[in-house]
Amino acid sequence: MLFGNIYKKILLKKVFLYVCCLINKNMVNEHYEKYKDTIKKCARRHYRKRIVLLNEYLADKSCKHCGESETVCLKFYPHDSEIRKKTKRVGTSNESRKEIFELMDDSYILCSNCWIKLDNDLIEFV
């Protein structure tokens, strides 16, 4: 009897959660469809705001190997993905940026081509 009750409760809970999940999913989808453009625009704006930090930092930098200075081509070696991941995640306060700056200081600035070359040991830095 007792076990039956527990079993029933668990089952009900599972059904309840499933229904909740379903409703939530539909609502999120509906919400998403309705505000798709706004959400996308907003996400893009936030994203830009955060990557401005990187672009500002890279604005007057150039590739250490070949001298390429086009900001969109520049990457950090070897911490590029970590820096970009952190930049997207952290807030824009100086405290949360500190970690990023430390990683930046610890990296070379390279253009994408040289980055790949260095990563494949095709070029070398002394």
Q: How far is the CB of 114 from Zn ion (least distance, A)?
A: 3
Q: Which is nearer to Zn ion, 57 or 115 (CB)?
A: 115
Q: Which is nearer to Zn ion, 68 or 80 (CB)?
A: 68
Closest Cα partner for 51 from 9, 100, 18? Answer: 100
CA distance 85 to 101: 13
Q: How far is CA 71 from CA 2, 12, 67, 79, 120, in A?
A: 68, 56, 11, 17, 22
Q: How far is the CB of 85 from Zn ion (least distance, A)?
A: 23
Q: How far is the CB of 61 from Zn ion (least distance, A)?
A: 11
Peptide bond into 78 cis (omega under 30): yes
Interface contacts to Zn ion, rule CB under 5 A: 63, 65-66, 68, 111, 114
